[in-house]
Structure 1
Amino acid sequence: MSNGIAYPVFHSPDRVLALSMARRLLELGRCADTNVSLYAELRSVDEVRQGAKELPEGWFRGQEHDGEFDHRVPLEDRPGWLVGVRGVGLPADPAAYEGRLPVDYELLDQPVDGVEDAFTAAIGPSVGEINWQHLCWPDAPEAGFRGESKHAGVTLLLNTGTHEYGEPTDDHTVLVHVRSADVDGRRTREPYVHRLAGQVGLTVIGPGQL
């Protein structure tokens, strides 16, 4: 069994530029199985509505209150949109969102270049990510590196610098994913990430994120 690790290689307040850089990296490893998934924490009613307008096919789920999904509560008495609904199923009344924000958004396994631009525009100041998975990183035999596919990926973090979605920022970060390999405390795959990033004029700019 192996794990992945993601290294930041680009950081900018310009989300369109960050998306462009992520796509350049994507093209280094894009293959037949490559697809894209979207995730976000929509932190205002306006952002939820914008997301529902631009990407209604995704799943939206509000925050639950303590005890709301107790087994003693009949299914018909549980708010359906807290389990997950498409955009058309979201409540229209702003009062319905009190205590329910942020609303989680998820759209999985989409064709590449079909949803990324709309999502980048619609997310506003909320935090989220575009994750391209099932890439095929190339071999670099002259440098002693074998390519990989299991952990190969590119992520664009929007308004945050980590997968943990901490406090929102005004910056956006591109991550390159590879297999995690540690020998005597040394990350042996990090030079491979430098090599990949260097092919589009970038380099590793921070520690890896597990």
Structure 2
Amino acid sequence: MSNDVAFPVFRTPDPVLALSTARRLMEFGRCDYSRVSAYADFHSVAEVRRVAQIMPGGWFCGASELEEFEGVPFKDQPPFVVGVSAADLPVEASAFEGRLPVEWQVTGQPVGSIEDAFSAAIGPNMGEINWDSLQWPEAPEAGFAGESKHAEVTLAFNTRTRYTNELADDHTVLVHVRSVRVDGRQRREPYAHWLAAQVGLTVIGPAQEN
């Protein structure tokens, strides 16, 4: 059992520049089986409907409280809470009462298939693009073997963390490596610095744990 740790390596208010920079880092580790996923939170019905028109793929899940469905079989829970496609979103505005923010996600897509549309659609909402199943090369001069299980790149929109829990007016690119913590220190942090440097970037903030 192992976890990853992410380090911010670039930040900008320009979403186009953020995407191109994230792609540059991703391409450094891209391989045949690499995939891309995306996630976003929408805090208004208008934003949900707007993005559903632009990004009809993926699933929309309305917010819920654990107590609402405690003991309720999964099959009996409201579809909008379990997850629906854009075509199956509720028509009535009243169906969104108590269900905001609405989460949207799409997972395991071919690299290059959703990134441009998503970055154009995200607007002021918090969200992320994540590329996984990358392959970081070994860095013998720095004393590090290669990495595949925890080789990822994340582009966080309108937030500075991988947790999408604090709004910001810029976008952040993060590089992921395997977490190896010894005596309170991340032993793989130098590897993150090395990876960033290979594409002209540098670590600009503290580690963000999984």
The TM-score normalised by the length of structure 2 is: 0.92
The answer as to 2:84 corresponding to 1:85 is yes
Q: Residue type of the partner of 1:147?
A: G
Residue 14 of structure 1 aligns with which residue?
A: 14
* 1:1-210 matches, cutoff 5 A: 1-64=1-64, 67-71=67-71, 78-210=77-209
- Structure 1 runs (4+) greater than 6 angstroms displaced: none
Identity within the alignment, %: 59
Matches of 1:189 and 1:29, distance apart in 2: 17
Conserved? CA contact 1:47–1:122, under 8 Å = no
Q: Residue type of the partner of 2:39?
A: Y
Alpha-carbon distance change, 18 to 91 in structure 1, aligned in 2, over 3 angstroms: same
Matches of 1:135 and 1:59, distance apart in 2: 24
Alpha-carbon distance change, 141 to 159 in structure 1, aligned in 2, over 3 angstroms: same
Conserved? CA contact 1:4–1:178, under 8 Å = yes
Conserved? CA contact 1:42–1:123, under 8 Å = no
Matches of 2:166 and 2:2, distance apart in 1: 30
Q: Residue type of the partner of 2:121?
A: A
Alpha-carbon distance change, 105 to 72 in structure 1, aligned in 2, over 3 angstroms: closer
Figure out how many residues of one structure are paired with residues of the other and give that number.
209
Conserved? CA contact 2:160–2:166, under 8 Å = no
Q: Residue type of the partner of 2:29?
A: G
Stretches of structure 1 that go unaligned for 5 or more consecutive residues are none
Q: Greater CA deviation, 183-192 or 157-166? A: 183-192
Stretches of structure 2 that go unaligned for 5 or more consecutive residues are none
Report deviation, 1:92: 2.0
Matches of 1:179 and 1:65, distance apart in 2: 33
